[in-house]
Homo-oligomer: A and B are copies of this chain.
Amino acid sequence: MSKIFELPASARPADEVPLKYGVVLYPGFQALDVFGPLDALNSLSLAYPLQLYIIAETLDPVSTKPPDHLNPAGSDFAQFIIPTHTFDSVPPIDVLIVPGGVGNRAPANMDGLLAYIVKIYPNLRYLITVCTGSGLAARAGVLDGKRATTNKRAWARTVDLRPQVTWVAHARWVVDGNIWTSSGVSAGIDTIFAFIGEAYGEEVASMIADFLEYERHIDSTWDPYAEKYGL
């Protein structure tokens, strides 16, 4: 048995930290929204005994391919991920990750996913959204009265979904209670590292970031994209 990581003394013990993760997928999800956070957690799973459930409407493979009307170049460029559970079959989890992607735009039917968020949220330790995934959490009502952020290019479309949310335009990520919302796509990587720092220990987060050779943005208010997109 080869140990890839030695946990630092400051690391929180395995019986205190979240161990069971779920991520929801839907057709046209944004790949990096999912695999940025998940690959940090893949690496963390070499140090802590983690479990992952990949959750979707059915057990059919879920494609990153955007709907045809959002694929103007007619590309055939997609990845297919296999779910491990459906919304109805997934066991209890500690943390749910909700990605964004053009596939969640109207008229996509997100009813099953939204109902799952409504049902599971009261039992979660943490909810983490990436990019327009916060629009899905908002539509499920779990962000009402909370501060949250989202993708900056898709800002207007997303915040219009739910005015009951206190949307924060200038933020790489926002934490309110047990909900972590991130800005667009790659912001999910900074968000998951901030989350790992909070939940497992800052030295653990640094160790994993170094393993991935990832230079973190550690200031949650760093956000040049808000200005780039006129917010």
Contact = CB atoms under 8 A, between A and B. Distances in A.
A116 interface: no
A32 B82 contact: no
A162 to B, nearest CB: 21
A49 B73 contact: yes
A215 B185 CA distance: 12
A135 interface: no
A187 B213 contact: yes
A82 to B, nearest CB: 4
B52 A73 contact: no
A78 B46 CA distance: 11
Nearest to A189: B186
A48 to B, nearest CB: 6
A28 to B, nearest CB: 10
A69 B1 CA distance: 5
Interface in A25-47: 30-32, 34-36, 38-39, 41-42, 45-47
A186 B214 contact: yes
Interface string A100-111: 001000000000
Contact of A212 (B42, B45, B186): B186
A197 interface: no
A184 B50 CA distance: 23
Interface of A: 1-4, 21, 30-32, 34-36, 38-39, 41-42, 45-52, 54, 61, 64, 66, 69-82, 102, 151-153, 183-187, 189, 210-215, 217, 224-225, 228
18 contacts: A32-B35, A32-B36, A34-B35, A35-B36, A36-B36, A38-B79, A41-B77, A42-B77, A45-B73, A46-B70, A50-B76, A51-B75, A61-B82, A81-B82, A183-B213, A184-B211, A185-B212, A215-B217
